[in-house]
Amino acid sequence: MKLNELLSFDDIVIQCHDNPDADALASGYALYWYLKKQGKSPRFIYRGRNEITKSNLLIMLKRLEIPVSYAPDFSDVPELLVTVDCQYGQRNVTMTKAQNVAIIDHHHTTVELPALSEVRSHIGSCSTILWDMLRAEGINVDEDVLLSTALYYGLFTDTGKLSEISHPLDRDMRDSLFINKSIITEMSNSNISLDELKITGKAILDYEYHGKHKYLMIKADQCDPNILGVISDFSMETVGVNICIAYYVSPQEVKFSVRSCVKEIHANELAAFLAEGLGGGGGHITKAGGTVRPEKLPGYQEGIEIDDIANDVFKKRLEAYFGMYKIIYARDTVLDTTDMKTYEKRQQILGYVELTDLFPLNTMLEIRTLEGDINIRLDADKYLMIGIEGEVYPITKEKLEKSYEYAKEPYNKTFEYDPCIRDVLTGEKKNVLKYAKAVKSTGHVRIYAKKLENFVKLFTLWDEEKYYSGKPGDYIAVREDDPHDIYIISGRLFDQLYKEV
């Protein structure tokens, strides 16, 4: 759906979920701002039993001039109702009759979606979706610093103070918005009430510690999701704790926060594993979180207590996660290749970038991709390869020229998300594809490879702080000319990339 599709309607009401949070208010505000800019006269409401009372949200409404109205008895039947940060028909949004319905949301789909809908469940906040939809209309939200600040705060609060960001689009919005930092600080420092302070203390006192794998399980009473981050951040300062899972249970969701202080366990991967098939999870390597739908928990029945079910599911999944991976450090490992077959690359066009075309030597770079951010220091020998699905990885000039030959034709591939590179010091960002040139695989360099039967975490030579995960069906491979250049190849892509010799 495009925002301009809404302009065929005149009587438009925007509704966010009951007990709205910062993301719902920010995304509704962004849609209201757009419609007003296009000459419409929309109304922005929320319903339910409770009016907003949280200090940070009251500051947000006042300081950012958000024109939302509490309308518990709303009875009009508008020509178009747009629900933001929620889905029409869900239990967390009071039903409002309308002639037509549209939905903009970032949660997992649980209802039948109307024709006018934009639901991206892999995005960290609904604010990000509105920001991206406004960009698609050629509109720069930075012309209104109050709106930019609202969108930033929506992402900030919905991703545990930015600790749970996983999609590069969220990171792009975070990096690009021009915001009023003093208002963000004011709202952030008014986030915890005295009651929530009690919730924090009570939860920490009732911790469960599991010494074998050095993790804490902490259950909190229902609270603002940011409180889970406060609880887990504080608990991670405890000696002997490598992992912390803090969570609460409500009728609508089980919200959880994950923290890790060891490089062998990425918090974002663990969060995704805990929520797999039940909801969604993601974030950073050290800080992440997620949401589980109660009705998807094994053993769930309407009206039964789900606290114990959620606790049991989390502990079983944690134990399974800790026992399923073999860890490989490429620098210290030489694979036994006797049971591995020999392969060479298929002839195809790939992309490469000479990084010194983008930034000066010794620049500290952040490479942004769908798989996450990679940090490297630029030296004269550092190039970047672009795979068939837009995946990128560093490569030395020597290995590039051994494996590929430069092609005459231009490189003009497009992907779901275009990888970009940012100067960590200055913040300057450049699109990788604008500088990409084409290469063809030569077949001169061969690899040994075999299909994985178990889960693997691989620390490569060029990044010894972040591992790459391999699952059964993927391939583990090593270059024939370098026994320590070990890497994982997706099973889905392997036959497109390599052929047996």
Degrees to nearest 5, angle at CA 285 with 280 and 485: 115
Rounded Cα distance, 445 and 346, in Å: 11
Q: Is the same domain home to 351 and 416? A: yes
Segment 209-229 shows an average pLDDT of: 89
Among 299, 324, 349, residue at a domain's last position: 324
Please give the DSSP secondary-structure letter assigned to residue 484.
T
Beta bridge partners of 283: 288
Q: Is the same domain home to 213 and 71? A: no
Q: Is the same domain home to 104 and 131? A: yes
Rounded Cα distance, 408 and 41, in Å: 55
371 vs 395, which has greater pLDDT? 395
Least confident of 92-96, 106-110, 228-232, 474-478: 106-110
CA–CA distances in Å: residue 451 to residues 8, 34, 342, 448: 54, 51, 12, 11
Q: Is the same domain home to 136 and 248? A: no
Q: Residues 164, 124: contact at Cβ < 8 Å?
A: yes
Residue of 2, 77, 80, 10 lying closest to 40 (CA atoms): 10
pLDDT band at 4 (very low <50, low <70, confident <90, very high): very high
Q: Is the same domain home to 152 and 213? A: no
Query: What are the tens digits of pLDDT across the range 186-208?
Result: 998 877 778 888 899 999 999 99
Segment 389-393 shows an average pLDDT of: 83
Q: Is the same domain home to 205 and 181? A: no
Q: Is the same domain home to 342 and 306? A: no
3-state secondary structure of 118: strand
Segment 404-408 shows an average pLDDT of: 90
The total of structural domains in the chain comes to 3
Q: Is the same domain home to 178 and 117? A: yes
Rounded Cα distance, 321 and 316, in Å: 9
CATH, residue 151: 3.90.1640.10
Q: Is the same domain home to 308 and 337? A: no
Q: What is the pLDDT of residue 154?
A: 96
pLDDT band at 251 (very low <50, low <70, confident <90, very high): confident
Q: Does residue 152 have a pLDDT over 90?
A: yes
Cite the DSSP H helix spans in 331-471. 397-403
Structural domain boundaries enclosing 202:
194-324
Q: What is the pLDDT of residue 349?
A: 86
Q: Residues 188, 230: contact at Cβ < 8 Å?
A: no
Rounded to the nearest 10 degrees, what angle do helices 181-188 and 145-158 cross at?
40
Query: In a 10 Å sphere around its CB, with 0-12 CB exposed, 13-18 middle and 19+ buried, how is residue 51 labelled?
Result: exposed
Query: What are the tens digits of pLDDT across the range 261-285?
Result: 999 998 888 998 999 999 888 767 7
Segment 405-434 shows an average pLDDT of: 86
Q: Does residue 130 have a pLDDT over 80?
A: yes
Among 324, 343, 367, residue at a domain's last position: 324
Beta bridge partners of 373: 368
Rounded Cα distance, 314 and 257, in Å: 12
Q: Is the same domain home to 45 and 172? A: yes
CATH, residue 294: 3.10.310.30
Q: Is the same domain home to 96 and 217? A: no
| Four-residue CA torsion sign, 273, 278, 281, 287 | negative
Q: Is the same domain home to 426 and 449? A: yes
